[in-house]
Amino acid sequence: MRVSVLLASALGCTLRLLQPAESFQHVGPSAIFATRLGSTSADLAETKHWRPTVSSLNDRKAYFQEQKERTSETLQSLGFHHVEFYTGDALMTAKRFELALGVPITCWSSLATGNDVCVTYGLECGIDYNSDTESGHGVRFLITAPLSRAMQKVNNDAPSAPTGVPSNVQMTAPLPLPGYSIEGAHEFYSKHGLAVRAVGVEVQDAKEAYEAALRNGAHGVLPPTDIPTNYEGQFTGECQMAEVKLYGDVVLRFVSFGDEHCEQKARDGIPEPFLPHLAPYPSYKPTRPNYGLKRIDHTVGNVPNLLETQNYIQTFTGYHPFAEFTPEDIGTVDSGLNSVVLASDSEAVLLPLNEPTEGKRKSQIQTYLEQNEGPGLQHIAIKTDDIFETITKMRHAEENFGGFELMVRPSDEYYRDLPSRLGNKLSVNQYERLEELGILADADEEGVLLQIFTKPLGDRPTLFLEIIQRIGCVIEQDADTGRIKERPGCGGFGQGNVSGALQGNRRP
Q: For binding to a second copy (CB under 8 A), which residues are involved?
A: 87-93, 95-96, 98-99, 110-112, 119, 145, 147-151, 154, 161, 163, 165-166, 168-169, 186, 189-191, 193-194, 281-283, 360-362, 366, 370-373, 397, 401-402, 457-461, 506-508
Q: Which is nearer to a second copy, 165 or 479 (CB)?
A: 165
Cα gap 230→362, rounded to integer Å: 48
Minimum CB–partner distance for residue 243 and a second copy (Å): 23
Minimum CB–partner distance for residue 136 and a second copy (Å): 28
Alpha helices in 286-411 (DSSP H): 306-317, 364-371, 387-401
Cα gap 395→218, rounded to integer Å: 41
Minimum CB–partner distance for residue 327 and a second copy (Å): 16
Report yes or no: 244 and 218 within 8 Å, Cβ to Cβ: yes
Q: Which is nearer to a second copy, 48 or 361 (CB)?
A: 361
Largest CA distance in the chain: 76
Q: Which is nearer to a second copy, 294 or 455 (CB)?
A: 455
Minimum CB–partner distance for residue 322 and a second copy (Å): 31
Minimum CB–partner distance for residue 171 and a second copy (Å): 12
Q: Which is nearer to a second copy, 350 or 463 (CB)?
A: 463
For residue 443, the cross-strand partners are 448
Residue type, 121: Y
Minimum CB–partner distance for residue 158 and a second copy (Å): 12
- Positions of E strands within 126-236: 139-146, 195-203, 220-226
Cα gap 275→434, rounded to integer Å: 37
Cα gap 109→88, rounded to integer Å: 15
Q: Which is nearer to a second copy, 172 or 430 (CB)?
A: 172
Minimum CB–partner distance for residue 101 and a second copy (Å): 11
Torsion of CA 455, 459, 463, 466, to 10 degrees: -20
- The closest of 237, 208, 258, 196 to 77, measured between CA atoms, is 208
Minimum CB–partner distance for residue 304 and a second copy (Å): 13
For residue 275, the cross-strand partners are none
Cα gap 477→490, rounded to integer Å: 16
Minimum CB–partner distance for residue 293 and a second copy (Å): 17
Q: Which is nearer to a second copy, 183 or 432 (CB)?
A: 183
Burial (CB count within 10 angstroms: exposed 0-12, middle 13-18, buried 19+), residue 506: exposed
Cα gap 245→407, rounded to integer Å: 31
Q: Which is nearer to a second copy, 391 or 457 (CB)?
A: 457
CA distances (Å), 144 to each of 92, 233, 298, in order?
A: 11, 19, 21
Helix (H, G, I), strand (E, B) or coil at 310: helix
Q: Which is nearer to a second copy, 95 or 425 (CB)?
A: 95
Report yes or no: 9 and 484 within 8 Å, Cβ to Cβ: no
